[in-house]
């Protein structure tokens, strides 16, 4: 899974074939943008972690046609970094602006976006527990979806599937099942779906 | 009567759920109440977390299809539509017009079915038993059509990447036309039974007030934002699939209370009937499947595909690294964000109105927890 | 006071004149009478519920030919053996890994010595049926799969073959 991943994973932003950024965004954000491109009509920009709230505030409130609808916020585990992705839209339109922040894998920090949208509250809590990102200044930094005793950050690619966790343990029937047929599975595909989280 | 400002009442903490008949699933609300008023409400979610996003990273694009059904079970066709559109956009697959129309028919039928469940359970929440039974009878007609078409009643796995499982059965169009003929009259009946009932009206009006500003701050979407007067509908805003070719209105209400949201949903069922009638008229003949390679390997890239689910803006964020399995899949679940606004709606409301307000924002808990 | 409470007092217009109270009472009576009329109308409509499983045999429900129910392995009547060539495509394609095939024989004579499907783990997605290159595995409209012991949900090759004997392949929609 992570080993078969190609290292030229550049995603879309900054990749080939992108058009230059719209003038309005380039002028409003200026040097805050480290990478930027337009792919299929969608604006992709990358900003440093320290500037992200200022950049989001300008995009959402200070432009002539602001991107004031925060559709989604999620984390992504890239091979070289952890990303936080903000999907912004103009209200009542399909004009999208995707803002990214690249964070180091060890101890990632980013300021919270809850000061601009309360939407970000739960989304950031989810990203925090799934990727281990610390959102500085978050009003309620508790776990959201996972049980309290799960260790590690499950959506990171290097997360180890805790075989002995009571919630994730397979039911007795599934334990017995390979024994009925024995050998077959082990030879064919060694431990292929260990990480798919069959939490029944 | 004389009141003394230094007289304090004691606040009481009560636990609603996780297993409560009116929470539509496994939701735990911790309510701080002062007398009959809610001072603070804290939702606790995650009881139905099924790691849908982690599963996606271990499955191929085709293998993940049936899982897409399973998290918002009342809108399985709509979820499939979001996922299948995301994958097709990533692979550059164009489906046939007939396939597009059938997909829209299925999604709209599912919207009616989902709103019927909402209508019935809201009746239950507010103390009326009959609408639930009648709505499920009408829903049964739709579910039966789904069963004849896809072979399953709730979790269909009917859409395929690049097409559909099979064409519509021969009796489908007649059966659906028959349903569409009698259904609007049934909506009127249910309005007489519930919506226009004075007890229900007095119960729902003026509670759970949702302002447009609150909607922006919390990214509330779907019938909830339309109940606050903003005509935000992804079908119109994005115009995906064949929706630009179809005529329909986006019902809105300016009031923003629970009753307004209810009226929007009822009107949406009528609009879905209108869409379905047009679809049946325009349904083109021809192939339903296009050729798709057996081993599906999209190019490196990402898409964020939005569709309108009965609960709001549903989006599938899919990142491909060029292999057979998605690198990352993220669901923008409408219920997840709509539920977040609940503490604001409950502030200052009566305890008895809690279930009515919760019912009126129409959440599905597996959709919240994913 | 916050917005929710203001709406409650202003939105429903509760002025106290005797006329408006009377109007409210009349409105209430009319709307409740209408509600009762609806229930009365529905009283005469046909019942759609079945008393499952204590059902009347005349009402016995048969799902359509495309129903995704229990599994079957189809026997090739001319050759008198299973169509399955034990290629294990279904096993690899299953998202839940609920199929196990133990192949035997070499080349053209390859056949499944054992064929297990855990129906309790299966989610009826029909991917296994779609990938089968020889149309040997199929789903049937049999929907009554409930058992007392979950171990009985594991289908073996004998059960699958028997079910395949009764299966009407011609009318199958897929």
Task: Please say if the pLDDT value at position B137 is more than 60.
Answer: yes
The phi and psi torsions of A92 (rounded to 5 degrees) equal 55, 35
Residue B84 confidence (pLDDT)? 92
More confident residue, C170 or C48: C48
Give the distance from residue A183's alpha carbon to the nearest chain B alpha carbon, in angstroms.
Answer: 23
Closest partner residue to A173 among C88, C96, C151, by Cβ? C151
Contact B341, B242 (CB under 8 A): no
pLDDT at A173: 47
Domain borders along chain A are 23-136, 160-200
Long-range contact list for C102-106, CB < 8 A, 24+ apart? C102/A181, C102/A184
Question: Across the A/B interface, how many CB contacts are shorter than 8 Å?
Answer: 116
Do the Cβ atoms of B302 and A12 come within 8 Å? yes
**Using CB atoms and an 8 Å cut-off, which of residues 234-293 of chain B contact chain C?**
255, 257
Share of chain B above pLDDT 90, in %: 19
Token pair recorded at residue C119: 């129906």
**Residue pLDDT, tens place only, C84-143:** 888 888 888 888 888 888 888 887 888 888 888 888 888 888 888 888 888 888 888 888
Q: What is the pLDDT of residue B288?
A: 87
Q: Are C163 and C142 in contact (CB under 8 A)?
A: yes
What is residue A18's predicted lDDT score, i.e. its pLDDT?
Answer: 58
Q: How far apart are CA A153 and CA B54, in angstroms?
A: 11
Chain A residue numbers with beta carbons less than 8 Å from the beta carbon of C94 are: none
User: Which CATH code is given to the segment(s) C61-165?
Assistant: 3.30.70.3270
With a cut of 50, say whether residue B7 has pLDDT above it: yes
Using alpha carbons, list the distances in angstroms from residue A43 to A33, A35, A61, A98, B231: 12, 11, 17, 6, 25
Predicted pLDDT at B11? 83
Cis ω before B225 (30° cut-off from 0):
no
* Degrees, nearest 5: CA angle A122-B11-B42: 10
Residue B80: partners with Cβ closer than 8 Å, 6 or more residues away:
B65, B68, B69, B156, B157, B158, B159
3-state class of B198 per DSSP?
Answer: helix
> If you compute the radius of gyration of chain C from its CA atoms, what whole number of angstroms results?
29
Q: Average pLDDT of B335-356?
A: 88
Domain ranges of chain B: 12-369
Q: State the residue for tokens 């091979």.
A: A79
B216 inside 8 A of chain A by CB: yes
Most confident of B7-11, B18-22, B307-311: B307-311
Contact state of A173 with C150 under an 8 Å Cβ cutoff? yes
* pLDDT beyond 60 at B261: yes
- Neighboring chain B residues of A10 at a CB cutoff of 8 Å: 300
CA angle (A46, A48, A54) in 5-degree steps: 95
Low pLDDT (below 70) residues in chain A: 1-18, 166-200
Report the SS3 class of residue A153.
Answer: coil
Best B71, B229, B330 member to test A by mutation, with max A CBs in 10 Å, is: B330
Strands A109-111 and A134-136: what pairing?
parallel
Residue B57's nearest CA partner among B325, B320, B315 is B325
Q: In CATH terms, is domain B12-369 a member of 3.30.465.10? A: no
Residues in C closer than 8 angstroms to A178, CB to CB, are: 100
| pLDDT of C89 | 86
Helices B76-91 and B61-69 cross at an angle (nearest 10°) of 160
Contacts of A11 by beta carbon, 8 Å cutoff, 6+ apart:
A78, B300, B301, B302, B319
Yes or no, beta carbons of C124 and B155 under 8 Å apart: yes
Contact B55 A197 (CB under 8 A): yes
User: Across the strands, what pairs with A36?
Assistant: A45
Please tell me whether residue B85 adopts helix, strand or coil conformation: helix
Q: Can you tell me whether residue B359 is helix, strand or coil?
A: helix
For the ranges B5-14, B106-115, B321-330, which has the lowest average pLDDT? B5-14
Superfamily name with CATH number, domain A23-136: NADH:ubiquinone oxidoreductase Nqo5 subunit (3.30.460.80)
Q: Classify B136 as helix, strand or coil.
A: helix
Task: Kindly report whether the peptide bond that precedes residue A103 is cis, defined as omega within 30 degrees of 0.
Answer: no
Q: Do A155 and B53 touch (CB under 8 A)?
A: yes
The CA distance from B140 to B134, in Å, is 10
3-state secondary structure of A98: strand
Tens of pLDDT, residues B271-330:
999 999 999 998 888 888 888 888 888 888 889 989 999 988 899 999 998 888 899 999
Q: For A178, name the nearest residue in chain C, comparing CA atoms only.
A: C100
Tell me which chain B residues have a C-beta less than 8 angstroms from the C-beta of A146: 46, 49
d(Cα A32, Cα A46) in Å, to the nearest integer? 9
Q: B91, B118, B109: which is closest to B301 by C-alpha?
A: B91
Return d(Cα A107, Cα B20) in angstroms, integer: 40
Q: Which residues, at least 6 apart from B304, have a Cβ–Cβ distance to it below 8 Å? A: A42, A71, A72, A87, A96, A98, B315, B316, B317, B318
Preferred mutation among B55, B127, B157, B206 to probe C, highest tally of C CBs within 10 A: B206
């Amino acid at each position: 899974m992570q080993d078969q991943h190609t290292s030229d994973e550049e995603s879309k932003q900054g990749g080939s074939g992108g058009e230059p950024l719209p003038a309005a965004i380039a002028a409003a954000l200026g040097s805050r943008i480290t990478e930027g491109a337009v792919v299929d009509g969608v604006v992709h920009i990358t900003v440093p972690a320290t500037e992200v709230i200022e950049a989001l505030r300008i995009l959402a409130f200070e432009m002539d046609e602001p991107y004031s609808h925060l559709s989604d916020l999620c984390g992504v585990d890239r091979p070289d970094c952890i990303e936080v992705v903000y999907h912004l839209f103009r209200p009542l339109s399909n004009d999208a602006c995707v803002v990214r922040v690249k964070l180091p894998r060890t101890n990632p920090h980013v300021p919270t976006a809850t000061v601009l949208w309360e939407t970000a509250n739960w989304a950031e809590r989810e990203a925090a527990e799934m990727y281990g990102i610390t959102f500085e200044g978050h009003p309620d930094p508790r776990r959201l979806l996972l049980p309290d005793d799960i260790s590690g950050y499950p959506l990171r690619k290097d997360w180890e599937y805790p075989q002995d966790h009571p919630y994730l343990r397979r039911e007795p029937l599934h334990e017995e099942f390979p024994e009925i047929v024995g050998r077959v599975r082990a030879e064919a595909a060694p431990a292929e779906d260990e990480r798919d989280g069959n939490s029944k | 009567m004389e009141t003394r400002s230094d007289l304090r009442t004691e606040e009481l903490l009560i636990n609603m759920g996780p297993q409560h008949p009116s929470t539509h699933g496994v939701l735990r609300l911790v309510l701080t109440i002062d007398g009959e008023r809610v001072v603070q409400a804290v939702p606790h979610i995650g009881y139905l977390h099924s790691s849908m996003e982690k599963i996606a990273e271990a499955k191929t694009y085709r293998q993940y299809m049936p899982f897409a059904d399973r998290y918002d079970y009342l809108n399985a066709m709509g979820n499939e539509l979001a996922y299948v559109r995301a994958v097709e956009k990533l692979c550059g697959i164009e489906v046939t017009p007939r396939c597009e129309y059938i997909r829209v028919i299925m999604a709209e039928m599912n919207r009616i079915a989902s709103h019927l469940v909402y209508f019935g359970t809201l009746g239950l929440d507010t103390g009326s038993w009959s609408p639930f039974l009648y709505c499920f009878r009408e829903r049964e007609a739709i579910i039966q059509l789904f069963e004849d078409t896809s072979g399953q009643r709730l979790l269909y796995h009917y859409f395929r990447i690049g097409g559909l499982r099979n064409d519509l059965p021969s009796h489908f169009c007649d059966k659906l036309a028959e349903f569409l003929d009698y259904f609007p009259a049934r909506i009127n009946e249910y309005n007489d039974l519930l919506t226009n009932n004075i007890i229900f009206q007095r119960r729902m009006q003026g509670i759970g007030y949702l302002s447009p500003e609150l909607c922006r701050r919390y990214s509330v979407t779907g019938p909830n934002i339309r109940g606050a007067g903003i005509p935000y509908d992804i079908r119109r805003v994005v115009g995906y699939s064949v929706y630009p070719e179809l005529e329909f209105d986006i019902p809105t209400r300016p009031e923003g209370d629970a009753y307004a949201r209810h009226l929007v949903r009822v009107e949406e069922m009528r609009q879905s009937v209108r869409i379905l009638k047009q679809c049946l008229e325009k349904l083109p003949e021809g192939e339903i499947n296009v050729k798709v390679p057996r081993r599906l390997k999209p190019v490196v890239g990402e898409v964020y595909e939005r569709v309108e689910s009965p609960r709001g803006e549903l989006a599938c964020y899919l990142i491909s690294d060029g292999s057979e399995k998605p690198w990352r899949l993220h669901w923008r679940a409408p219920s997840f964000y709509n539920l977040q606004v609940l503490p604001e709606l409950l502030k200052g409301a009566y305890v008895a109105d809690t279930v009515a307000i919760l019912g009126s924002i129409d959440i599905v808990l597996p959709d919240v927890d994913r | 006071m916050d917005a929710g409470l203001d709406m409650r007092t202003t939105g429903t217009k509760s002025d106290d004149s005797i006329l408006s109270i009377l109007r409210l009472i009349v409105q209430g009576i009319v709307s409740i009478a209408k509600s009762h009329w609806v229930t009365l109308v529905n009283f005469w409509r046909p019942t759609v519920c079945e008393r499952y499983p204590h059902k009347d045999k005349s009402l016995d429900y048969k799902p359509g030919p495309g129903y995704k129910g229990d599994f079957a392995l189809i026997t090739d009547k001319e050759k008198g053996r299973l169509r399955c060539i034990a290629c294990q495509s279904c096993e690899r394609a299953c998202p839940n890994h609920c199929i196990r095939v133990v192949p035997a024989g070499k080349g053209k004579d390859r056949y499944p010595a054992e064929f297990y499907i855990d129906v309790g783990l299966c989610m009826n997605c029909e991917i296994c049926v779609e990938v089968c290159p020889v149309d040997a595995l199929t789903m049937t409209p049999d929907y009554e799969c409930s058992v007392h012991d979950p171990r009985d949900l594991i289908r073996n090759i004998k059960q699958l073959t028997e079910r395949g004997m009764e299966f009407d392949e011609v009318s199958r929609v897929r």
